[in-house]
Amino acid sequence: MLSRHCIGYWLHAYRRLFPGSIGYDSSEATVLLVRGALEAAIQKYAQREACNGVGFSNEIDTKDVFNGLLLAPEFEGLRKGLQISPQFVLTKFDVQSLRELYDCEKLGFEIWRCGATLRILGKGARLRVDPTNSRYFGDERTDELDTLVSKYDSRQGYWAASASGTVFSREFATAEHMKGGVILPTYNVGNIPAKEFNEFFKSFNLKMAESSRLNFAWVPLNFPSYYHAHEPLAGAFASHVGIRLEWLMAVINALSLRVVHCWNEDRSYLLRTWQRGYEGPYAKDYVEREIRHFLPFSVKALKLPVDAGDIDVLATIGYLELREDKRARIDPSTAGPHFVFLPHGDRLFIDYAWIHRLLHNLFYGVQLDDQNFKGDALEIAVRAGHSALPIGPCKALSGEQRQIDAAFIRGDTLVIAECRAFAYSFGIERGDPIAIRYRTQKLEKALNDIDHKARWLAGNPRGTNYDIRKMRRIIPIAVTPFVEFIPSTHSHYWLSEQLPRVLTPFELRQALSENTIEKIAEYSPNEVRIPSES
Average pLDDT of the segment spanning 492-498: 92
CATH code for 372-529? 3.40.91
Q: 331 vs 177, which has greater pLDDT?
A: 331
Average pLDDT of the segment spanning 256-267: 93
**Contacts of range 387-393, beta carbons closer than 8 Å, 24 or more positions apart:** 388/414, 389/416, 389/466, 389/468, 390/465, 390/466, 392/465
Average pLDDT of the segment spanning 277-295: 96
Is the pLDDT assigned to residue 176 strictly greater than 70? no
Least confident of 57-61, 66-70, 108-112, 212-216: 66-70
Average pLDDT of the segment spanning 412-440: 94
Q: What is the 3-state secondary structure (H, E, C) of 120-182?
A: HHHCCCEEEECCCCCCCEEEECCHHHHHHHHHHHHCCCCCCECCCCCECCCCCCCCHHHHHCE
Is the pLDDT assigned to residue 147 strictly greater than 90? yes
Instruction: Provide the pLDDT for residue 11.
Output: 95
Give the HSE-up count for residue 461: Cα atoms under 13 Å, Cβ half-sphere: 15
Is the pLDDT assigned to residue 529 strictly greater than 90? yes
What percent of the chain has pLDDT above 70? 94
Give the HSE-up count for residue 515: Cα atoms under 13 Å, Cβ half-sphere: 5
Which string of DSSP letters, residue by residue, matches 366-378?
---S--HHHHHHH
Instruction: Provide the pLDDT for residue 246.
Output: 97
Is the pLDDT assigned to residue 534 strictly greater than 70? no
Phi-psi region of 509 (alpha: psi -120 to 50; beta: other; left: phi over 0): alpha
Average pLDDT of the segment spanning 216-224: 93
Instruction: Provide the pLDDT for residue 58.
Output: 74
Instruction: Provide the pLDDT for residue 343.
Output: 97
418 - beta bridge partners?
478
Q: How sure is the predictor about 494, in pLDDT bands with cuts at 50, 70 and 90? A: very high
Instruction: Provide the pLDDT for residue 392.
Output: 92
Those residues whose C-beta lies under 8 Å from the C-beta of residue 500, and which sit 6 or more positions away, are 151, 484, 486, 493, 494
Average pLDDT of the segment spanning 58-66: 71
Name the residue among 111, 4, 137, 42 with its Cα closest to residue 343.
42
Alpha-carbon span 457 to 450, nearest angstrom: 10
Q: 511 vs 72, which has greater pLDDT?
A: 511
Name the residue among 111, 102, 114, 107 with its Cα closest to residue 139.
114
Alpha-carbon span 253 to 242, nearest angstrom: 19
At 411 the three-state DSSP class reads coil
Alpha-carbon span 22 to 10, nearest angstrom: 17
Q: How does pLDDT run across 460-486, given as a tens digit for each residue?
A: 999 999 999 999 999 999 999 999 999
Is the pLDDT assigned to residue 229 strictly greater than 90? yes
Domain with CATH 3.40.91 in the chain: 372-529
At 77 the three-state DSSP class reads helix
Alpha-carbon span 250 to 256, nearest angstrom: 10
Instruction: Provide the pLDDT for residue 157.
Output: 80
Distances (CA, A) of 129 to 106, 149, 174: 20, 21, 55
Instruction: Provide the pLDDT for residue 60.
Output: 74
Instruction: Provide the pLDDT for residue 464.
Output: 96
Give the HSE-up count for residue 366: Cα atoms under 13 Å, Cβ half-sphere: 28
Instruction: Provide the pLDDT for residue 79.
Output: 65
Is the Cα dihedral 223, 225, 228, 229 positive or negative?
Answer: negative
Contact 456, 474 (CB under 8 A): no
Would you say how long the chain is, in residues?
A: 534
Contact 264, 196 (CB under 8 A): no
Alpha-carbon span 200 to 316, nearest angstrom: 32
Average pLDDT, the chain: 92
Q: 61 vs 274, which has greater pLDDT?
A: 274
Contact 19, 187 (CB under 8 A): yes
Q: Which residue type sits at 512?
A: L
